[in-house]
Amino acid sequence: MPHLFSPATLKSVTLKNRIVVSPMCQYRAEDGRANHWHTVHMGNLALSGAGTVIIEATAVEAAGRITPGDIGLYDDATEASLKTAIEAMRVVEDCAVFIQLGHAGRKASSHVPWDGGQLMRLEEGGWETFAPSAIPFKEGDRAPTAIDAAGLVRIREAFVDAARRAARLGFDGIEVHAAHGYLLHQFLSPLSNRREDAYGGSLENRMRFPLEVFEAVRAAFPADRPVGVRVSATDWVEGGWDLPQTVAFAKALAARGVDFVDTSSGGLVPQQKITTGPGYQVPFAEAVKTEAGVATFAVGMITEAEQANAIIVEGRADFVALGRGLLFDPRWPWRAAAALGETIDAPPSYWRGLPADKAGLFRANIVAR
């Protein structure tokens, strides 16, 4: 019976447990380039004890950054800037390291959250944004440019280029970002996609571009390494994207060889009304796993070890992914292992920090590279 600390495999990649660090934007980059902040932050997450770390949303072109502080992977400078951080993660811990590739679409060119997070005006350093249709995220915002045929090719090729760069950097896997109101989600939802060509209208048409991007990324990344997709299972708005459409999308992805679906929700429109609570998004992952037959990540207010373990044991998802909880408590996996009576890898340099009542918690994990 799989449990939270049982190993798993995705393609040729072995994951030492079922705990995943969700990608979390840091908004600290400089012109798309990662820096010392990211090396320290990513290294800390690598030492958390999680089996997999997915680094933050990484833009496939400069115009696709959410904020000026987003990291990117779209030229030699951005690629080189990530190399140090990834090498540091490999030195300190033997966890799987994935990257989330995305494009913000109409939610690009925004201020960082602590400066309000609103759309930046062009005169204050903002830039032209792109979307399936010229519909702004918020009423009164500058409208994005509707993507034409050449733009579709440009963006798809940007994902391909980023996937090839990710392979060169040695990432173990890729998560394509099609959630939280960003570009690929904008194509999926009828609330943001009002196109009248082959990429709009019917569900089949609205799925077309996200599926093309997935297929292109899958073809550009080594066949023995996994590629998954993050989705928003519902817009939390009547008439928007919903769970039945998500299941249909997951089935289409499964037919194209997706290795996992990371199941979140929301983010497309300000009018969303989300009902939250412990594990409130787990039923979405369960539905995708059961109906589409693909491995799923469950996310959203998973805070307790017993709760996380039950999700795996009961077969509701294959992995649990934590984000903000690991910012607050970067050693959550250690605490979870102690609570569940499991053992966990830890570097010998940290063994002396183990309390007497936790004897036997740590396994030797000496990374020699």
Question: What confidence score (pLDDT) does residue 364 get?
Answer: 65
Q: What is the pLDDT of residues 138-171, one digit of tens each?
A: 999 999 999 999 999 999 999 999 999 999 999 9
Q: Is the pLDDT of residue 365 over 70?
A: no
pLDDT tens digits along 52-68: 999 999 999 999 999 99
pLDDT of residue 368 exceeding 50, the answer is: no
Provide the Cα torsion 212, 214, 219, 221; round to 10°.
150
Q: What is the pLDDT of residue 128?
A: 98
> How does DSSP assign 126-160, residue by residue?
----EESSS--SSTTSPPPEEP-HHHHHHHHHHHH
pLDDT at 327 over 50: yes
> Which of the pair, 321 or 359, is modelled with greater confidence?
321
Using alpha carbons, select from 112, 113, 101, 120 the residue that is nearest to residue 55. Answer: 101
Mean pLDDT score of the chain = 96
For residues 57 and 59, give the distance between their C-alpha atoms in angstroms, rounded to a whole number.
Answer: 7
Asked whether 364 and 348 are in contact (CB, 8 A), the reply is: yes
Please compute the mean of the pLDDT values over residues 107-128 and round it to a whole number. Answer: 96
Of 182, 199, 280, 350, catalytic: 182
* CATH classification for the domain delimited by 8-322, as one of 3.40.50.1970, 3.20.20.70, 1.10.287.70, 3.10.20.30: 3.20.20.70
Question: Which pLDDT score, from 0 to 100, does residue 363 have?
Answer: 77
**Which residues on neighbouring strands pair with residue 53, listed in sequence order?**
21, 97
pLDDT at residue 304 is higher than 80: yes
- pLDDT confidence tier of residue 283, bands split at 50, 70 and 90: very high
**103 contact partners, CB below 8 Å, separation of at least 6:** 59, 60, 61, 64, 155, 158, 159, 177, 182, 183, 184
pLDDT band at 369 (very low <50, low <70, confident <90, very high): very low
Tokens of residue 85, six digits: 């951080």
CA pair distance 209, 227, nearest whole angstrom:
17
CB 11 within 8 Å of CB 294: no
Dihedral sign for Cα 328, 319, 10, 61, please: negative
**What angle is formed at CA 330 by the lines to CA 325 and CA 335, rounded to 5 degrees?**
90
Question: Where exactly are the structural domains of the chain?
Answer: 8-322
Give the confidence band of 28 by pLDDT, cuts at 50, 70, 90: very high
pLDDT at 166: 98
% pLDDT > 70, the chain? 98
Helix-helix angle 76-92:149-169, to 10 degrees: 40
Q: Is pLDDT of 1 > 80?
A: no
Mean pLDDT value of segment 254-279: 97
**199 tagged catalytic:** no
pLDDT at 356: 85
pLDDT at 3 over 70: yes
Q: What is the pLDDT of residues 166-182, one digit of tens each?
A: 999 999 999 999 999 99
